[in-house]
Chains A and B, each alone.
Chain A
Amino acid sequence: MYTFSNKLKIGSFILMALGILGIAIGFISAPSTVEEAKAIVASHGDGHGDAHGAVEAYGAVAEGHGDAVEAHGEEHDSSHDEHLLHQLQNKPWAALYVAAFFFFMIALGVLAFYAIQRAAQAGWSPLLFRVMEGITAYIVPGGIIVFVILVLSVLHMNHLFVWMDADVVAHDRLLQGKAGYLNPTFFLIRAAIFLAGWMFYREYSRKLSLRQDESNDNANFKLNFKWSAAFLVFYLVSESIMSWDWIMSVDPHWFSTLFGWYVFASMFVSGITVIAMVTVYLKSRGYLPDVNNSHIHDLAKFMFGISIFWTYLWFSQFMLIWYSNIPEEVTYYVTRIADYRLPFFGMIVMNFLFPVLLLMNSDFKRMNWFVVLTGIVILGGHYMDIFNMIMPSTVGDQWFIGIPEIGAVLFFAGLFIFWVFRALSTAPLQPKRNPFIEESRHFHY
């Protein structure tokens, strides 16, 4: 039985407190009038000058799709200021949303990994099931927070999703064409169904898993197998649609077919990384005596492989659009390369080069500090990945990783740690009568 160490608990509370402070500062310092917005940009100097031209070009292209071209002309100055104000007002919201989604996505990625391990009847991983169940506990609070942010967006508390603004849709034929899918009611209904499905599987599978320990046959295990297989079907469909809804629709003029897979790869590798890091932590505290370095080796192999898989999808999406260079698609990357050069290409280094070179060696994959070090870089890289998905269309060239962004990450990191380790302390860390537990205990690679 794991007991939640006081140090960790206090640490998570400190993170949450610092995070709330940072989030609050972000909201307080966001401008409420055009004049304030201009003053903020002026105080930052002309550093953004070059990048700005590119964004205006992008704006012109994007608006050219709708019928809003006549809005330009002498009114251009004021509409530009309005645009700037919205970007700056979006900053704390986008920072909150990126961090909320990032930590939620880790729990969801772990849930998918867990379901795959059950459906595949993997012999090595049952020893880690309780660790995974502990991490997926965060789906409930994390999912609710993400849902609340989505509801607040629908209630026009922010401008994260431009298609939620009836005025914009009225002037945009493209968005009118998509209104059958992208409308606030249907959007919230979809989100609610997906979250309910994921939470249901998590809670039910956990219940069956605990019940299996106390029973004297394998009925619970078999039922869990069936539910896991069914969940994977549901997950594949819902995750794909979720990525269109929650992420791709911040850029409603743009679309990509492999986007759902791409987001999946990001959440999957982050989830596996967190499993490895929590396992290493718990083992170092002496709570997982039967976990050996072959288990760590397997997790590190997954981190390595899925990192490459993520890169494959990232590159496929990027190269296809870059190569054909069709204006309506390519603006997505034009803004990112113009305004987000370092985060955009930096994440390739963090998510691909770093794990590939560090985790290629079989001996390195067995060393705890190596796995943890690479894990930190991978998690940072995938935060940047979500950052690169959300920020360019919500705050544009006004991005910065400052107090609101770091505050939001700290808050959700604290909440994540608190919730996960609290959940870990509610059940024994080793399943008792899983049919594969003996194999898992003697797993050796």
Chain B
Amino acid sequence: MASKAIHAYYDDDDVLMLAVKKVKAAKHHIEEVYCPFPVHGLDKAMGLAPTRIAITSFIYGCIGLSVATLMMNYIMIEDWPQDIGGKPSFSYIENMPAFVPIMFELTVFFAAHLMVITFYMRSRLWPFKKAENPDVRTTDDHFLMEIDIHGNEKELKDLLLDTGAVEINIVEKTSH
């Protein structure tokens, strides 16, 4: 891992997009891009792999559906099959319409909440987490591209200035 990195600042998302494409074309690895808001198409330009969070959500939904079904089947049919208002509790399928609202809600509940928690864990977000923000301006109106320096400082600087960077800093990397 390189000990020094170059920070290039941009003040427009269109310029940033072009810069990302140029840097990619020059075969440099972009370590990170910090933006104040989502820039449409940035992930594609950087060549990031598509997210798999929808797949996890589908699996969580299936788990929720199973939990609801097993729970209602155990409570209402197996453990104590009472006659409540004439509802047929002889088998799960006979009384199923009454369980569907619960099955639906638990499917949604599991799919939504577990997916959100997955997102937090994968993006390493939690309360009291130390902010990993290299420059406060990137949360307001500046975009920052971080590239590691492997002894090619001069060349990188020229390339980034060429892409319309408004400011370029060389920083010592602190590991986090």
- Is the beta-carbon distance between B98 and A315 smaller than 8 angstroms? no
Q: Is B47 an interface residue (CB 8 A)?
A: no
How would residues 293 to 329 of chain A score, 1 for a CB under 8 Å from any chain B CB and 0 otherwise?
A: 0000000000000000000000100110011010000
Closest chain-B Cβ to A3's Cβ sits at a distance in Å of: 39
Q: Is B127 an interface residue (CB 8 A)?
A: no
Closest chain-A Cβ to B50's Cβ sits at a distance in Å of: 10
Contacts of A323 in B (CB 8 A): 97-98
- Is the beta-carbon distance between A322 and B58 smaller than 8 angstroms? no
Query: In chain A, residues 212-233, which have Cβ atoms closer than 8 Å to a Cβ of chain B?
Result: none
Contact of A318 among B54, B58, B97 (CB under 8 A): B97
Interface size class of B (residues with CB under 8 A): under 10
Query: In chain B, residues 72-98, which have Cβ atoms closer than 8 Å to a Cβ of chain A?
Result: 86, 97-98
- Is the beta-carbon distance between A325 and B58 smaller than 8 angstroms? no
Closest chain-B Cβ to A348's Cβ sits at a distance in Å of: 12
Closest chain-B Cβ to A364's Cβ sits at a distance in Å of: 13
Task: Give A320's nearest chain B residue, CB to CB.
Answer: B97
Interface size class of A (residues with CB under 8 A): under 10
- Is the beta-carbon distance between A325 and B86 smaller than 8 angstroms? yes
| Cα distance A362–B54 in the bound complex, in angstroms | 10
Q: Is A360 an interface residue (CB 8 A)?
A: yes
Q: Is B125 an interface residue (CB 8 A)?
A: no
Closest chain-B Cβ to A342's Cβ sits at a distance in Å of: 16
Contacts of A319 in B (CB 8 A): 97-98, 100
Closest chain-B Cβ to A140's Cβ sits at a distance in Å of: 41
- Is the beta-carbon distance between A360 and B97 smaller than 8 angstroms? no
Contacts of B54 in A (CB 8 A): 362
Contacts of B98 in A (CB 8 A): 319, 323
| Cα distance A232–B109 in the bound complex, in angstroms | 35
Closest chain-A Cβ to B139's Cβ sits at a distance in Å of: 29
| Cα distance A362–B52 in the bound complex, in angstroms | 12
- Is the beta-carbon distance between B97 and A322 smaller than 8 angstroms? yes
| Cα distance A318–B98 in the bound complex, in angstroms | 11
Contacts of B58 in A (CB 8 A): 360
Task: Give A321's nearest chain B residue, CB to CB.
Answer: B97
DSSP class of A's interface residues: helix, strand, loop or mixed?
helix
Contacts of A362 in B (CB 8 A): 54
| Cα distance A77–B97 in the bound complex, in angstroms | 38
Task: Give A362's nearest chain B residue, CB to CB.
Answer: B54
Closest chain-B Cβ to A308's Cβ sits at a distance in Å of: 11
DSSP class of B's interface residues: helix, strand, loop or mixed?
helix
| Cα distance A198–B69 in the bound complex, in angstroms | 46
| Cα distance A7–B91 in the bound complex, in angstroms | 54
Task: Give A325's nearest chain B residue, CB to CB.
Answer: B86
Task: Give B98's nearest chain A residue, CB to CB.
Answer: A323
- Is the beta-carbon distance between B100 and A315 smaller than 8 angstroms? yes
Closest chain-A Cβ to B95's Cβ sits at a distance in Å of: 10
Contacts of B100 in A (CB 8 A): 315, 319
Task: Give A360's nearest chain B residue, CB to CB.
Answer: B58
Contacts of A322 in B (CB 8 A): 97
Closest chain-B Cβ to A310's Cβ sits at a distance in Å of: 15
Closest chain-B Cβ to A429's Cβ sits at a distance in Å of: 30
| Cα distance A319–B96 in the bound complex, in angstroms | 10
**Residue of B58, B86, B97, B98 with most partner-chain A CB within 10 A:** B97
| Cα distance A318–B100 in the bound complex, in angstroms | 12
Closest chain-A Cβ to B96's Cβ sits at a distance in Å of: 10
Contacts of B97 in A (CB 8 A): 315, 318-319, 322-323
Query: In chain A, residues 84-109, which have Cβ atoms closer than 8 Å to a Cβ of chain B?
Result: none
Contacts of A315 in B (CB 8 A): 97, 100
Closest chain-A Cβ to B25's Cβ sits at a distance in Å of: 22
| Cα distance A323–B94 in the bound complex, in angstroms | 12
| Cα distance A322–B99 in the bound complex, in angstroms | 13
| Cα distance A364–B86 in the bound complex, in angstroms | 45
Closest chain-A Cβ to B112's Cβ sits at a distance in Å of: 16
How would residues 131 to 156 of chain A score, 1 for a CB under 8 Å from any chain B CB and 0 otherwise?
A: 00000000000000000000000000
How would residues 338 to 376 of chain A score, 1 for a CB under 8 Å from any chain B CB and 0 otherwise?
A: 000000000000000000000010100000000000000
| Cα distance A370–B98 in the bound complex, in angstroms | 34
| Cα distance A325–B87 in the bound complex, in angstroms | 10
Task: Give A361's nearest chain B residue, CB to CB.
Answer: B54
Contacts of A318 in B (CB 8 A): 97
Closest chain-B Cβ to A126's Cβ sits at a distance in Å of: 22
Query: In chain A, residues 187-206, which have Cβ atoms closer than 8 Å to a Cβ of chain B?
Result: none
Query: In chain B, residues 94-124, which have Cβ atoms closer than 8 Å to a Cβ of chain A?
Result: 97-98, 100
Query: In chain B, residues 42-62, which have Cβ atoms closer than 8 Å to a Cβ of chain A?
Result: 54, 58
| Cα distance A68–B97 in the bound complex, in angstroms | 34
Query: In chain B, residues 150-170, which have Cβ atoms closer than 8 Å to a Cβ of chain A?
Result: none
Contacts of B86 in A (CB 8 A): 325
Closest chain-B Cβ to A174's Cβ sits at a distance in Å of: 26
| Cα distance A319–B97 in the bound complex, in angstroms | 6
Which residues in A have some Cβ–Cβ distance to B below 8 Å?
315, 318-319, 322-323, 325, 360, 362
In the A-B complex, the 6 residue pairs with the closest CB atoms: A319-B97, A322-B97, A323-B98, A315-B100, A319-B100, A323-B97
Offer 11 A-B interface pairs, CB within 8 angstroms, sorted by A.
A315-B100, A318-B97, A319-B97, A319-B98, A319-B100, A322-B97, A323-B97, A323-B98, A325-B86, A360-B58, A362-B54
Given contacts A315-B97, A315-B100, 8 further A-B contacts (CB under 8 A): A318-B97, A319-B98, A322-B97, A323-B97, A323-B98, A325-B86, A360-B58, A362-B54
